[in-house]
Structure 1
């Protein structure tokens, strides 16, 4: 019983930490530039994972090819999306960013269909993608016309970030997972590589003056240590205990947490099309994974792709 309670507590912690990542980004931007937020995020995440690895006495991989793959993953799963989300939240609410983040599983399906022969598009997946696309159009509010403002560009940046996530999860499955590396080691490798990649151009992209208040510092620490570091460890435990498909259901909770925190903490307004679009996106995810079909409950464990990467902040 205690073990099951512990796993459930980790699952809830994942939903809260990943859902609150967008609030942490928004608060961090009050004193830091987008590039500074992204760099601090991966650096603190790598530091937290390094402590975990040291405590568990896990050696780092010596395979140069694996480090090469992790460098690619670090761009797709950390450096690029973290920069894009941080830049985007200068112009859109944290709640809306969290809803866009929920499109990650749909974009993963698209990349998987293109790159993995076993994950071809089926009728349920096509229906799910269409539902999800309708949800995105609802979020953007296309009936209002196309306004090439910072807000629309920021929404496209959020979609760019989730596109990176989708490509990263498929790349992980194809090139990293078959090597059998420890998941926490993989997480450390990608965050450490992302730290190096973002630190190299820091003199050009992260030179703005910093205004470090207690709220800014605590938000960035939570974003890095918890959301980008320890959350990987918790997710590994949940996947091992519950299975990949059930663990990935955290995807459905993170936008709820993100929107609620944005309203309660930052008093962000919520427009009707945002929850409506979120519902369509979630229905699209369920449909693309065959969970709206009769008998879906008995087959929900079948596809390993579904658990490759719950949507993160």
Structure 2
């Protein structure tokens, strides 16, 4: 099918962008960390079933395999979603999605620190700074009250993006042949266990859940559409497009989050939201300019001559 990749890319952006709206809607009925844990109880089981079907190794075997799963479960799943779900209580779906879109930029920064082969050029440093500027513009902090709920919430979402970026870099430090589907499945299950433990530790309770129709729909949407279906599309596109084009989903998702937040939750984006998003997008472009140029050349069929 001629436009298969484009259709799947749009589908993934819709699935992952609308997830921020589903999270925001579900937080009305669930304690935040318990909500995230429930999501990955179910999503982890679905992903494990897919790993059994699609791979030859659905159980990690080596010590390195389990280290990678440990990093994935603690940082990519548990830390990321704890900070995201708690943080999104005090901000909009679009704002949360935009801050999370900083992850590819932060990944480059962490790679420079932890991976010896990675180098950051002057323009790359400018890209990092522009991305951080975007978060600052988006949060629009009040100098007289830096601890107001919205600023604190956006900082927590920033920590979510940083956790995901750090986890992505640390997993790359290990020369590991574990199938990505297997790694994702066991990371989800481990992350769910960790989140249940932290949820219990901060005195969240199942008794606090309001099991309304809206609550169940929000949870099922996150499990089936954003997690199970979203990751299946992700694996398919990753194999055929590569990581650079997949990263661009991070910049399509906020548009979807803004649209679905406006449609379902009456969230109205501000000028600061738009300017912040633009800064982060420009920062990504500066950091990944060579890779993006190569992708454009490959797509257009013209040779890339480099710089």
For normalisation by structure 2, the TM-score amounts to 0.89
Q: CA RMSD in A?
A: 2.2
Q: What residue is the counterpart of 2:140 in the other structure?
A: 141
Deviation at 1:145, TM superposition (A): 4.7
| Contact persistence 1:11–1:238 (CA under 8 A) | yes
Deviation at 1:293, TM superposition (A): 9.2
Give distance in 2, aligned partners of 1:298 and 1:186: 32
Deviation at 1:257, TM superposition (A): 0.6
Q: What residue is the counterpart of 1:162 in the other structure?
A: 161
Give distance in 1, aligned partners of 2:291 and 2:116: 23
Describe the shift of the 1:210–1:239 C-alpha distance in structure 2 as closer, same or farther (beyond 3 A): same
Q: What is the aligned counterpart of 1:186 among 183, 186, 192?
A: 183
Tell me the alpha carbon deviations over residues 26-65 of structure 1, each in whole angstroms, 9 at most, x when there is no partner. 1111110001111012112102102212333643122233
Give distance in 1, aligned partners of 2:294 and 2:209: 54
Give the alignment of 1:96-111 within 5 angstroms. 96-111=95-110
Q: What residue is the counterpart of 2:194 in the other structure?
A: 197
Give distance in 2, aligned partners of 1:78 and 1:285: 23
| Contact persistence 1:291–1:297 (CA under 8 A) | no
Give distance in 1, aligned partners of 2:55 and 2:158: 38
| Contact persistence 2:138–2:276 (CA under 8 A) | yes
| Contact persistence 1:73–1:168 (CA under 8 A) | yes
Q: What residue is the counterpart of 2:280 in the other structure?
A: 281
Q: What residue is the counterpart of 2:13 in the other structure?
A: 15
Give distance in 2, aligned partners of 1:44 and 1:70: 18
Q: Any unmatched runs of 5+ in structure 2? A: 300-307
| Contact persistence 1:76–1:164 (CA under 8 A) | yes
Give distance in 1, aligned partners of 2:137 and 2:180: 36
Q: What is the aligned counterpart of 1:51 among 39, 49, 53?
A: 49
Q: Which moved more, 1:62-71 or 1:245-254?
A: 62-71
Give distance in 2, aligned partners of 1:53 and 1:292: 30
Q: Which moved more, 1:254-263 or 1:52-61?
A: 52-61
Large movers: runs of 4+ above 6 Å: 292-296
Deviation at 1:233, TM superposition (A): 2.2
Q: What residue is the counterpart of 2:38 in the other structure?
A: 40
Deviation at 1:13, TM superposition (A): 1.7
Deviation at 1:199, TM superposition (A): 2.7
Q: What residue is the counterpart of 2:305 in the other structure?
A: none
Residue correspondences, number: 296
Q: Which moved more, 1:156-165 or 1:213-222?
A: 213-222
Q: What residue is the counterpart of 1:129 in the other structure?
A: 128
For normalisation by structure 1, the TM-score amounts to 0.88
Describe the shift of the 1:172–1:292 C-alpha distance in structure 2 as closer, same or farther (beyond 3 A): closer
Tell me the alpha carbon deviations over residues 104-131 of structure 1, each in whole angstroms, 9 at most, x when there is no partner. 1111111001011221211221111121
Q: Any unmatched runs of 5+ in structure 1? A: 301-313
Q: Which moved more, 1:54-63 or 1:116-125?
A: 54-63
Q: Secondary structure at the match of 2:258?
A: helix
| Contact persistence 1:128–1:283 (CA under 8 A) | yes
Q: Which moved more, 1:54-63 or 1:44-53?
A: 54-63
Deviation at 1:294, TM superposition (A): 7.6
Describe the shift of the 1:123–1:297 C-alpha distance in structure 2 as closer, same or farther (beyond 3 A): farther
Give distance in 1, aligned partners of 2:283 and 2:298: 17
Q: Secondary structure at the match of 1:200?
A: helix
